[in-house]
Amino acid sequence: MVKNWTVEDSANLYNLRGWSLRYFDINAEGHLTVHPRRSPELTIDVKGVVDAAIARGIRLPVLFRFQDILRHRVALLNETFRKAIADHKYQGRYFGVYPIKVNQLCEVVEEILDAGQPYQYGLEAGSKGELLAVLAMNSAQSLTILNGYKDETMMRLALMGVKLGKKIIVVIERSSEVKLLLKVAREMGVRPLIGLRCKLQTQGTGRWKYSTGHVSKFGLNTPELLGAVATLAEAGMRDCVKLLHFHIGSQVSDIQSIKDAAKEGARVYAKLRRKKLDLEYLDCGGGLGVDYDGTHTAVDSSTNYTPREYVNGIVYTIQEVCKQEGVPEPHIVTESGRSVVAHHSFMVVDAVGIIESGATPVDLPAAEKESEVVREMRDTLQEINPKNLAESYHDALQRREEAFSMFKLGYLELEEKAKVENLFWRICQEIDKLLPKAKFISEDLLEMGKTVRAQYLCNFSVFQSLPDAWAIGQLFPIMPLHRLDEEPTQRAALVDITCDSDGKIVQFACHRKTGGALPLHPLRDGEPYYVGFFLMGAYQATMGDIHNLFGRVNEVHVFEDAGEPGGYYLEEVVHGQTVRDMLTSVQYHDEELIKLMKDQIDAQVKAGAIKPREGVELLDAYEAVMGHYTYIDRNAMRVPDEIPAAKPA
Ligand SMILES: *Cc1c(COP(=O)(O)O)cnc(C)c1O
């Protein structure tokens, strides 16, 4: 351990100040802390929360939700718009909606509605299921926006909402939806509230940049837009068109695209307005990004702007265009999902072991009569420094090839081959360790680094809990929750407990400071090591899958409360899925499986191979596992000190 390592060094290493938006910090004990309302007076020790949950019998992995963070995000977005509107003396108001696809969990939506109530903050739905949920949950004061492809049933449901006095706006995505909506409206005798989604030419930046432009699957191009207006006018429903919508994709990384889109969208609004279309709302969609890696740059996992810049950019741009065109300033709608929910939840997993690829169980000392190639490898190892990393690696690769050829031809003994393999591994490790000090890191060194890192085996499934890390290489901040006053000396990658070699995380949000690896502490015997995955609130929960039949994880909802010990209480526990749940989801039924097992046990009993009493015990043991959590039990993994003596027959 290097002396004088401080918690501040840890904060720098994991770029905590970059991504945490002051919701997280580190205390003097070296534990991560959370400040749900960003007020420094109230600090909650995250390790304490985890220990408290475990003491209540809740197994890891656990997803923790801080409802106070969620409320804070909702208030912040709305207050930021209010302030920008006041500062610019903007004439319209802000009516935000939360798109529930980003996190549909009922508790999340309820909390958002409650926190958003003073702002008339509404909801957005994009499918039949989501529509049923928002129709029942949203109040009549706030907007309800229906996007996505719609069939007649969805339109009927939406108009049912209008009958109930709700402000539900049906956004037309395709020309054919116009006539369908008109038919349903006539049949139900309802005057609908209509939105039109236009395809912008402005493209977003980042991974979802093809959500707009002529190749996008959503929205009306200009001829279609004019056609829709004409059809509605003919049907006498011109005055029902209330909203113009656009959406340039999620996680827009560059503020310039946001402003360009607002400019183009506002221009379309203004031109329609001048055609005597009484549009009241301009809906700028989602796209407000989250700075996952904390670098404040326009790369995919970051944003080069803050939410305040985003809000000011939109308000100012729309105002400018409206001034030029001489049209009233519309109410502004945005459909921010990611930025509202990402921060409020994090998952805690325990590291249950380390897989070290090149460690050698035998001593391989230098010998006098050693092959030249071994000695050269030894020299290469000795001479590595931050300036010759690539050269050393290429030398080592070449020597290793030479050694393998010699071995095949019979010129090298097994011991020497072992030395070459071991030296090669040590060279790679040494290079990897020096990567953070290198001026430039080539792609092959980064790739090499991934192969020599200690793989920390963690109790979770990437496919269930971090689907975007696997599917699209999304980066999430990951760091230990404790021992942050101690230097993390291991350069690690994380592997999950699925039987899939894709079940791992090798790219980290802190990569720029660490030369690609995740710095972690060596595990200590008998002591748990908790690793947190942060900014997990957006999109991950319902996109996860059941690969290997690992199910939904346990969830704990934490509330801030200055009156309680530790400043919080654990309100609600949503138990994760059991082995039985997962088997049922793929059509195995526990009674049938148990019956099949019982028949086989009975046969063995009949044959005299096992005693009847033992048969009962075996069946009970089988049945009991049905009710277990799908993840592994850390306590049941402890390696015994001694193997017990064989039982007498
Ligand atoms: C997904 C989606 C959103 C949410 O976008 P975020 O980037 O998560 O804020 C908003 N509007 C529409 C139409 C969407 O499809």
Tell me, in angstroms, the distance from the centre of ligand 1 to residue 532's CA: 26
Q: Which of 9-23, 316-330, 538-552 has the lowest mean pLDDT?
A: 538-552
Tell me, in angstroms, the distance from the centre of ligand 1 to residue 390's CA: 43
Q: How confident is the model at residue 543 (pLDDT cuts 50, 70, 90)?
A: confident
Q: Is the CB of 250 under 6 A from ligand 1?
A: yes
What crossing angle do the helices spanning 222-234 and 255-274 adopt, rounded to 10°?
30
Q: What is the pLDDT of residues 190-212, one digit of tens each?
A: 999 999 999 998 877 777 676 66
Query: What is the DSSP pairing of strand 345-355 with strand 530-533?
Result: antiparallel
Q: Which of 43-47, 117-121, 215-219 has the lowest mean pLDDT?
A: 215-219
The structural domains of the chain, ordered by start, are 147-336 (3.20.20.10), 372-448 (1.20.58.930), 589-636 (no CATH)
Q: In whole angstroms, what is the distance from residue 405 CA to residue 403 CA?
A: 5
Q: How confident is the model at residue 649 (pLDDT cuts 50, 70, 90)?
A: low
The residue to which tokens 């509230």 are assigned: 193
- End-to-end distance of the chain based on CA atoms, in angstroms? 52
pTM of the model: 0.92
Q: Which of 63-72, 295-304, 408-417, 441-450 has the lowest mean pLDDT?
A: 441-450
Q: Is the CB of 211 under 6 A from ligand 1?
A: no
Please name the residue whose Cα sits nearest to atom 10 of ligand 1.
Answer: 286
For residue 554, pLDDT over 90 is answered with yes
Q: In whole angstroms, what is the distance from residue 64 CA to residue 616 CA?
A: 39
State which ligand 1 atom lies nearest to the alpha carbon of 539.
Answer: 8
Q: Is the CB of 130 under 6 A from ligand 1?
A: no
- The contacts found for 616-622 with CB under 8 angstroms, 24 or more apart, are 619/594, 622/594, 622/597
> Tokens for 323?
């001034």
What is the Cα 521 distance to its own chain's centre?
24
Q: In whole angstroms, what is the distance from residue 255 CA to residue 335 CA?
A: 17
> Tokens for 440?
């430039």
Q: Is the CB of 288 under 6 A from ligand 1?
A: yes
What pLDDT was estimated at residue 640? Answer: 79
Q: What is the pLDDT of residues 51-82, one digit of tens each?
A: 999 999 999 999 999 999 999 999 999 999 99
Please name the residue whose Cα sits nearest to atom 3 of ligand 1.
Answer: 286
Q: What are phi and psi of 64, to 5 degrees?
A: -100, 135
Average pLDDT, rounded, for the chain: 93
**Cα–Cα distance list, 190 to 155, 165, 182 (Å):** 11, 11, 10
Q: Which one, of 459, 501, 269, lies nearest residue 347 by Cα?
A: 459
Q: What is the pLDDT of residues 610-635, one digit of tens each?
A: 999 999 999 999 999 999 999 998 88
**Cα–Cα distance list, 628 to 58, 357, 497 (Å):** 12, 32, 16
For residue 340, pLDDT over 90 is answered with yes
What pLDDT was estimated at residue 212? Answer: 64
What crossing angle do the helices spanning 106-116 and 128-137 adopt, rounded to 10°?
40
Q: Is the CB of 99 under 6 A from ligand 1?
A: yes
Sign of CA dihedral 25, 27, 33, 36: negative
Tell me, in angstroms, the distance from the centre of ligand 1 to residue 245's CA: 12
**b/e sequence 32-50, b meaning 16+ C-beta within 10 Å:** bbbbbeeeeebbbbbbbbb
For residue 636, pLDDT over 90 is answered with no
Question: Tell me, what DSSP letter sits at residue 219?
Answer: S
Q: Is the CB of 116 under 6 A from ligand 1?
A: no
Tell me, in angstroms, the distance from the centre of ligand 1 to residue 623's CA: 44
Tell me, in angstroms, the distance from the centre of ligand 1 to residue 145's CA: 12
State which ligand 1 atom lies nearest to the alpha carbon of 147.
Answer: 13
